[in-house]
Structure 1
Amino acid sequence: MRKNIVTSLAILLAGSTAALAQSASDGKVKIGILNDQSGVYADFGGKSSVEAAKMAIEDFGGKVLDVPVELVDADHQNKPDIASNIARQWYDTEQVDAIMELTTSSVALAVQALSKEKKKINMVTGAATTDLTGKQCSPYGFHWAYDTHALAVGTGGALVKQGGDSWFFLTADYAFGYSLEEQTGTFVKSAGGNVVGAVRHPLATNDFSSFLLQAQSSGAKVIGLANAGLDTANAIKQAAEFGITAGGQNLAALLFTLAEVHGLGVEAAQGLTLTEGYYWNLDDQSREFGKRFFERTGKMPNMVHAGTYSSVMQYLKAIEKAGTDETEAVAKALHEMPVDDFFARNGKVGANGRMIHDMYLLQVKKPGESDEPWDYFSVLSTIPGDEAYIDPAKSGCELVK
């Protein structure tokens, strides 16, 4: 009888262990969207990224491993210290399991470092620096939508081929801008071009006149705008006022998305060449998501919004595959699972955490060329993922063997 009792207890304990393995800590899975909701990148990501995350959770069914999926969000105001404080509070006291979006490279790097320390998953869609999957990579960090190397290969490569072989950079004065300038400059030089100079401006600059005058006087064929959001839009507007494009110099909007084109207007943006990882009017899959997103937000999604949906959905799939929300197991599943959705076709995650997928070289249509509202782009070419992104083995990430 005693033997039977011991055997029964062993079976119960084994069952309990198995149940625990197939469970989520705290009786829920909690995701945080941390991004700029009030500054220069509010349209670039902002509350629309939060809405995309909600859509992913709803489409997944609102639960994973039979526990509810919760979402919190906050505005980091493009300040790494504020972002780190929010992330620390989320991890330490609010049971947040993963933080996503993370617009602004300096913020993303700070939160990724904290996430590595806390052994938590972070998935970046809004920031661009290749350092996230390079020298500052993390076993729990994933970079999803795009990066500065992909932008350099796309927009930079296209303009060099068109004869834009001398460049001057107008660069946002923080990690993202430096990385974008460096990556594009390297690509321009490797293609036989020349970088004649650069000037750096503070984030959220309203007056670009002194910077644009330096760019104009450089005589460069291409002025590379290594900035984003309202900074890029304001630079383009003021460049027109100075007659820069009328004088024969070209503007390269190195990070410019559908959201910024809409805000600037097709009249001002027409002819600009840019690179995105998603376009809502690409095909039936893209349009289906785009139209659902529009019904909720009143705008079509850019690659940051679509990428946020994709990353949240993939995270939930990884938890389901792992049978737990434990960080090591989920990170392993994210590395192993292919990414195949409306955002990334035949995507894959490298050993450095970089999600490798096709990018698209786009050109803004002229007024009157659009077939319908928000139909702003002509697709010039598809850039295969293995060409767009750095080979993980060459990324400088210590995790790659």
Structure 2
Amino acid sequence: MAKDGRAPGTARRAWITAATVLLLLGAATGAGAQVSDDVVRIGVLTDLSGPYADLSGKGSVVAAELAAADAGGQVRGKPIQIVSADHQNKPDIASAVARRWYEVEGVDAIVDLPVTAVAFAVQTVAREKSRTVMITAAATSDFTAKTCAPVSTHWADDTHTLTAGTARAVMQRGGRAWYFITVDHAFGAALQVEATKVIEASGGRVVGTSRHPIGATDFSSFIVQARTSGADVVALASVGNDFITALKQAHEFGLGTGTPTLTGFLTYITDINALGLEVAKNLTFTSSFYWDQSDAARAFARRFKEKVGIMPTKDHAAVYTAVRQYLHGVETAGTDEAVAANKAMRATPFDFFGRPASIRADGRVLFDATLYRVKTPAESKAPWDYYEAVRTIPRAEAFLPMNPACAVP
């Protein structure tokens, strides 16, 4: 594992993790003159130490390593190198790392990027430097609806996907009046806006909102306000540790056992594992991936769990698939030049753990999603047996139509 080479105690050293893995599987032979630096270098820029470390973090690095290994460890005879850094959930740190990676350290593509503001910052640098960025964690639909770029692809369930199935399902069960407990950053605001559109279009209304900072530890005042608001549904528009803490405290206040009911949007299997089925049971949410959805997913999950100790989240699955598709794009285009590689990525449909997938001209990755319900303790038959599929959400329903201004020629 490589360090960043800077003196101990400097701020920059804290930005870079010691997780640099060089995969040299097979002789470096064959054509490869168009691969810059004679290495295809992919940077996993993630949260290695903060509230999103379980859903991304070390697991995202491992997922990228598995993808590189499954590609044979080389592209056009040139080795694949996976490097990683902790962005500390700070856009300025993320953009500085991205700029140094692209300008100085020869990184060809960046992947992962939990936290919307972080992903926007890195997408801006990637566009400026004409280098590849693959956003697999941050979820706002604006990455393709507004800030699209020919070198950028968006792999995560976006804010439209997350609300399209979940809000409709809750509305169909009678949830007309909604109260939001929303994380106070761009993702939370975007998620609430998208959900509100579905709620109001279906004849419902939002009766109140509380906003909390990232890393909040006390949700009691928000929960009391939600209980007294007259809401039928309390919606937790948060993610990671914030979502886990909010749901645990809501359960302690008796929410989820009657009216108002509880619902979440951006939910990860690591959240359910941390909460336990007694607390999380009967939650509904939308997801692009579940480790038990297909033979391909189960095979990947077994390998991943052997290395990380947990089942992969949907972010880990997206990192793996994005890296595989990027490497295929480089191989097909004959170069790691970003625009050419991304055109090749868009031109080739692929398999997303048993589901057909493709990349639209604006960089939006398209697939059918699934509305899931969390099983009760009695229904779960084995460790990590947490989800029951409720219905498939077709890609035409799951994603917004393409903004014509974002079409890549």
TM-score (normalised: structure 1): 0.92
The Cα offsets for residues 13-39 of structure 1, whole Å up to 9 and x where unpaired, read as xxxxxx988530111010000011111
The Cα offsets for residues 309-367 of structure 1, whole Å up to 9 and x where unpaired, read as 00000000000010111112101111211122416x22111121100111111111111
CA distance in 1, matches of 2:55, 2:175: 27
Identity %: 46
Query: Where in structure 2 are the equivalents of 1:316-355 lying within 5 Å?
Result: 316-342=327-353, 345-355=355-365
Query: Where in structure 2 are the equivalents of 1:295-374 lying within 5 Å?
Result: 295-342=306-353, 345-374=355-384
CA distance in 2, matches of 1:37, 1:270: 28
> In the alignment, which of 150, 161, 164 is matched to residue 172 of structure 2?
161
- Counterpart for residue 173 of structure 1: 184
- Counterpart for residue 162 of structure 2: 151
CA distance in 1, matches of 2:249, 2:328: 46
Q: How far is 1:90 from its partner?
A: 0.6
> In the alignment, which of 113, 119, 122 is matched to residue 108 of structure 1?
119
**Aligned pair 1:58/2:108, yes or no?**
no
The answer as to whether partners of 2:31 and 2:77 remain within 8 angstroms in 1 is no
- Counterpart for residue 85 of structure 2: 74
Q: Mark the CA change 1:102 to 1:62 in structure 2 (over 3 Å): closer, same or farther.
A: same
CA distance in 2, matches of 1:118, 1:214: 47
CA distance in 1, matches of 2:69, 2:406: 37
Q: Which runs of 5+ in 1 are unaligned?
A: 1-18
The answer as to whether partners of 2:182 and 2:189 remain within 8 angstroms in 1 is yes
Larger Rg: 1
The Cα offsets for residues 73-126 of structure 1, whole Å up to 9 and x where unpaired, read as 111111101111111111111000010000111100110011000001100111
Decide which moves more: 284-293 or 29-38.
284-293
> In the alignment, which of 367, 373, 389 is matched to residue 379 of structure 1?
389
- Counterpart for residue 128 of structure 1: 139
- Counterpart for residue 217 of structure 1: 228
**Aligned pair 1:25/2:36, yes or no?**
yes
> In the alignment, which of 269, 273, 276 is matched to residue 262 of structure 1?
273
**Aligned pair 1:184/2:195, yes or no?**
yes
TM-score (normalised: structure 2): 0.90
- Counterpart for residue 244 of structure 2: 233
Report the residue type matching 1:120 in the other structure: R
The answer as to whether partners of 1:99 and 1:123 remain within 8 angstroms in 2 is yes
Corresponding pairs, count: 380
Q: Which one has the bigger helix percentage?
A: 1
Secondary structure, counterpart of 2:228 in structure 1? helix
Q: CA RMSD in A?
A: 1.5
CA distance in 1, matches of 2:221, 2:274: 24
The answer as to whether partners of 2:361 and 2:406 remain within 8 angstroms in 1 is no
Secondary structure, counterpart of 1:347 in structure 2? strand
- Counterpart for residue 12 of structure 2: none
Report the residue type matching 1:368 in the other structure: A
Secondary structure, counterpart of 1:30 in structure 2? strand
- Counterpart for residue 7 of structure 1: none
- Counterpart for residue 94 of structure 1: 105
Q: How far is 1:289 from its partner?
A: 1.1
- Counterpart for residue 260 of structure 2: 249
- Counterpart for residue 11 of structure 1: none
**Aligned pair 1:83/2:94, yes or no?**
yes
Decide which moves more: 235-244 or 66-75.
235-244
Q: Mark the CA change 1:244 to 1:372 in structure 2 (over 3 Å): closer, same or farther.
A: closer
Secondary structure, counterpart of 2:236 in structure 1? strand
> In the alignment, which of 263, 266, 280 is matched to residue 291 of structure 2?
280
